[in-house]
Each structure stands twice: as structure tokens, then as C-alpha cells.
Amino acid sequence: MADRDFGGIRIRHLFKIFGPNARSHIEAVQNGLTKSELNRKYGHVLGLRDINIEMPSGCIQVIMGLSGSGKSTLIRHINRLIDPTAGEVLVGGVDVVKMDETELRTFRRHQTAMVFQKFALLPHRNVLDNTLFGLEVQGVERSKAVDIAMRWLERVGLKGFEEKYPNQLSGGMQQRVGLARALSNDAPVLLMDEAYSALDPLIRTDMQTVLLDIQQEIKKTIVFITHDLDEALRLGDQIAILRDGEIIQQGSSQDIVLRPADEYVANFVKEVNRGRVVQVGAIMSPPRPGAAVSGVTVDAATTVEEAVRMLASVPDGDVTVIGQGSRPVGVVTFRQLATAMVNSDTAQTRDDAIALVQ
């Protein structure tokens, strides 16, 4: 695929070294100088090492890792709030690294929008004026900007609060304003840097639902930073896990949970409720040649937990798995479902598996 035809984000051989003489050390880092050696010998910090990732247009790309892993550094390269030491950041086929000051300003105003962890609302502006701030910067006529802002405030559940000020809102409501402000700009790329990590768990789950519902309509390219695996698994069409500035594994939620790349990733996922993440299509077997098609079917995108509930009263044997257009794509047994839920090579009994979801 030619770069100019790639509508998402493509990052190639991205390195970031923090320090006054960063460029003088890039070759040594590219040749294998470690993060600890760079710091010990030269007093510089390696933020990112050889990041290569493609983020398809219209999908949610989650970048996750522990504190200090480089995830916030990475997302800030996309709109060049941080300049790389080496590498390319292509958005819609255009290298952001090569943009001059005017091009970069235009790019930030029209091609990207950002939602921050700390809300970043202007305290002297009410909810409406905070929401339309980006449109105001773009020079959009006031009446049009108000119409756009009000539509998104209603969409995020803040209709009736447009005259309130930030200090009159809860944290969750303030973050809804931040989301409405970003969406009002109608930028194709939405950058969310730990946008929900400061929220209480129930509010956080609610905001995740809001984002997923809106994404079904708008199909933005969303880059979402988090240190929370459950959040990553729920939101991400693709997930990249960082450690010490390097990508350890990339893939879907199914890839991450079922096929961890190393012990580090395995430790991340060992406490995950697999039944709520793993889909039937990820564990099914190919249809057996000549076998009769079962009258009972389950969709490939159904979670294992839901499939156990659905099939609790079905006799033992193969169940047909269907894909798009209700086409048979495989078979699954209750034993496979139980094994997937408990992360074990030995399946539990039917009663044990059912008990797990009750």
C-alpha cells in the first residue's frame, strides 16, 4: 500500500532520546546501546526505541504500559508536541516530522484533537464556550460553532449544563466537556492521553461506553493511552504494549490474551476475566469434513462467557459457529469454552463452567 493511500497513522523507526546532545547518540542507540548504558555513560534518557506501528483509519488503537514505558511520549509525537530524534510519523501519508511551523499549526487545528487526563478546561469559560474553543481558534462563525458544540454536548449527555462553569461540574462531567470539545473540531484523528484514568471506576466505565457508542457513528482514528488492561481490552481494535520505550507486543485483544509474547505480557493478562474478553471465533475448530451441521449456532464474535450462558442447556457435542452473513466458519464444544475461560489445558466440568458465569 502506498503511503499516500494509507489513511491512518504509520510510525516508522521512531527513536526519542532526551538530553542536550541527543542526536550525537542516536547511531549508538540504533546499534544496540541500552537505555541503562545511555544514561550511565552519557546522562541521556532513552524515551522510545525503534517504534514501528500502523494504526488503521477509523479504528481505536490502544497504547498501554506501566508508568515510564513511553506511551505518553509516543502519542505526543503524532501531533509533534515532542520532536523525534529519528524516524517518521505519517498521518494520512504525510510526514508530520517534516512539516514547517505553518503546516504544523494547520495540521494541529484541523487534523488532530486531543483529550487530556487533567481535563484542561478554561476555568473562566462556561461549558459551551469551552466546547467551542477549538472552533473559535479555527475562525468558525459563532452561530455555527454554537450549533456544533450544542450537538456534541447533547451527545455526551450534558444538555442543560452549557452555562455551568468547570468548578460546578464533577470530574466525569468535566471529562465529557473535554470529549465534546475534541469532537466538535471534527478532526479525523483523536488523541486521548489517559483520558479516563483520573475518574472513579463507575464513571470511567460509563465514559468508555460513551466513547464506543460515538465511535460507531463517527469512525475516527483514535489513539487511546492507558495503563489499565481491562480498559485496553474493552476499547482497543488493536493494542500495543510498551515497556521501557519499546513495543513488546501488538495485536487484537484476542492475540494479547491468548498468545502473550513473553512473560511480561503474560503477567499483565493473567488476572483478566478471559470469559468476557475471548471470543468464540478465537478458539473454535475448523468444521469437521462430513460432519452434520448442528442446529444450534453461536456467532463468532460472541464472548466465551456469553456463549456458556447460551449453551448451558444444549447437549454435549459440536456447536456451529457462524460469521458474517450467517455463514458457518467453524465448530466449538463446551469443553473448549470451559478451557478458554479458566486458562487451563484441562477443561472444567459443565457445572463448574456454568457456575463461573452465574
**pLDDT digits 0-9 by tens, 282-320:** 999 887 776 555 578 899 999 999 998 888 777 677 888
For residue 324, give the C-alpha cell: 458474517
What DSSP letter does each residue of 75-139 carry, written as one string? Answer: HHHHTTSS--SEEEEEETTEEGGG--HHHHHHHHHHTEEEE-TT----TTS-HHHHHTHHHHHHT
pLDDT for res 347: 41
DSSP letter, residue 4: G
Between CA 287 and CA 322 the distance in angstroms is: 11
Tell me how far apart the alpha carbons of residues 93 and 8 are, in angstroms, rounded to a whole number.
8
Neighbours of 106 (CB within 10 A): 12
Task: Kindly report the CATH class assigned to 275-356.
Answer: alpha beta
For residues 96 and 84, what is the distance between their CA atoms, to the nearest angstrom? Answer: 10
Using CA of residue 257, residue 261, residue 262, residue 265, what is the dihedral sign? negative
- Cα 238 to Cα 236: distance, rounded to the nearest angstrom: 5
Residue intervals in the chain for CATH 3.40.50.300: 55-88+99-111+187-272
Task: Give the global pTM.
Answer: 0.86
Q: Does domain 55-88+99-111+187-272 have CATH number 3.30.70.2190?
A: no
What pLDDT sits at residue 5? 44
Per-residue pLDDT tens for 195-249?
998 888 898 999 999 999 999 999 999 999 999 999 999 999 999 999 999 999 9
For residue 341, what pLDDT band results from cuts at 50, 70 and 90?
A: confident
Cα-to-chain-centroid distance, residue 185: 20
Q: Are 65 and 242 in contact (CB under 8 A)?
A: yes
4-51 pLDDT tens trace: 445 699 999 999 999 999 999 999 999 999 999 999 999 999 999 999
The model's pLDDT over 97-141, given as tens digits with 9 standing for 90+, comes to: 999 999 999 999 999 999 987 778 999 999 999 999 999 998 999
CA-angle at 171, arms to 166 and 176, nearest 5°: 75
Q: Which helix (H) or strand (E) holds 73?
A: helix 71-78
Domain with CATH 3.90.1280.20 in the chain: 275-356
